[in-house]
């Protein structure tokens, strides 16, 4: 048949594509569809110029580097925004930990693509120290229940430190949070 030749098939495909574009334009109220790539209308925020300062994770906020967020159905619960605070002075321990984390990330960025949440974990330790510091002890004979209890207290203290005020755990890697309900049930 004549329509089975590659040229005729290409002409039919082009005609169908043009009809589809006209149909979509009619469904958009007769307006022409936007052409891609479009120019961005929102300006990127300026990078911080002051080297002293630290990045802080803010949650449950309507603030945005692109302007105020006006609509919300849940009071911005779970919303996460990293903000550079030039007046905050990180401690020497925090600077050292961040430098080590940066070197580790640079060395392993092709094998491990997430940051390990080091900046967030340091922020949590700065603002909310762990509520229960459980000393690591060796397993003594006949004290399995005590060791298990201390391990659970330590794990709960760790996750309690990472939990935000609105109840969620912001993270770069959500693997443990995905598996946690199955472990509890």
Burial class of residue 161, CB neighbours in 10 A (0-12, 13-18, 19+):
middle
CA distance 104 to 98: 10
Question: What was the pLDDT predicted at 175?
Answer: 57
According to the model, what pLDDT value does residue 27 have? 55
Is residue 136 within 8 A of residue 78, CB to CB? The reply is: no
| Torsion 18-24-27-33 (CA) sign | negative
Long-range contacts of 76-80 (CB under 8 A, 24+ apart): 77/166, 77/167, 77/168, 78/166, 78/168, 80/170
pLDDT at residue 47, as a whole number: 62
pLDDT of residue 48: 59
Report residue 54: phi and psi, to 5°: -150, 155
Nearest-10 crossing angle of helices 118-127, 144-162: 100
Extents of the domains making up the chain: 1-39, 131-172
pLDDT for the residue 165: 77
Give the model's pLDDT for residue 42. 66
pLDDT of residue 139: 54
Contact 170, 120 (CB under 8 A): yes
Q: Is the dihedral of CA 50, 56, 58, 64 positive or negative?
A: positive
Find how far residue 176's CA is from the centre of its chain.
14
Q: Say what the pTM is.
A: 0.53
Nearest-Å Rg of the Cα atoms of the chain is: 27
Residue ranges of the chain with pLDDT lower than 50?
132
Q: What pLDDT was estimated at residue 24? A: 66
Give dist(CA 136, CA 147) in Å, integer.
Answer: 9
What per-residue confidence (pLDDT) applies to 34? 56
56 - beta bridge partners?
83
pLDDT at 166: 75
């Amino acid at each position: 048949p004549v329509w089975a030749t590659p040229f005729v098939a290409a002409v039919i495909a082009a005609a169908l594509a043009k009809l589809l574009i006209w149909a979509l334009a009619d469904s958009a109220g007769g307006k022409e569809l936007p052409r891609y790539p479009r120019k961005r209308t929102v300006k990127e925020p300026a990078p911080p110029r002051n080297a002293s300062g630290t990045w802080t994770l803010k949650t449950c906020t309507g603030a945005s580097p692109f302007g105020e967020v006006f609509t919300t159905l849940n009071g911005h619960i779970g919303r996460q925004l990293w903000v550079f605070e030039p007046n905050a002075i990180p401690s020497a321990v925090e600077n050292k930990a961040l430098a080590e984390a940066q070197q580790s990330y640079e060395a392993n960025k092709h094998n491990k693509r997430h940051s390990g949440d080091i900046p967030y974990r340091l922020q949590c330790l700065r603002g909310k120290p762990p509520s229960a510091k459980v000393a690591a002890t060796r397993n003594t004979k006949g004290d399995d229940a005590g060791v298990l209890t201390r391990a659970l207290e330590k794990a709960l203290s760790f996750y309690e430190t990472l939990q935000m005020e609105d109840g969620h755990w912001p993270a770069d890697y959500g693997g443990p949070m995905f598996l946690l309900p199955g472990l509890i049930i």
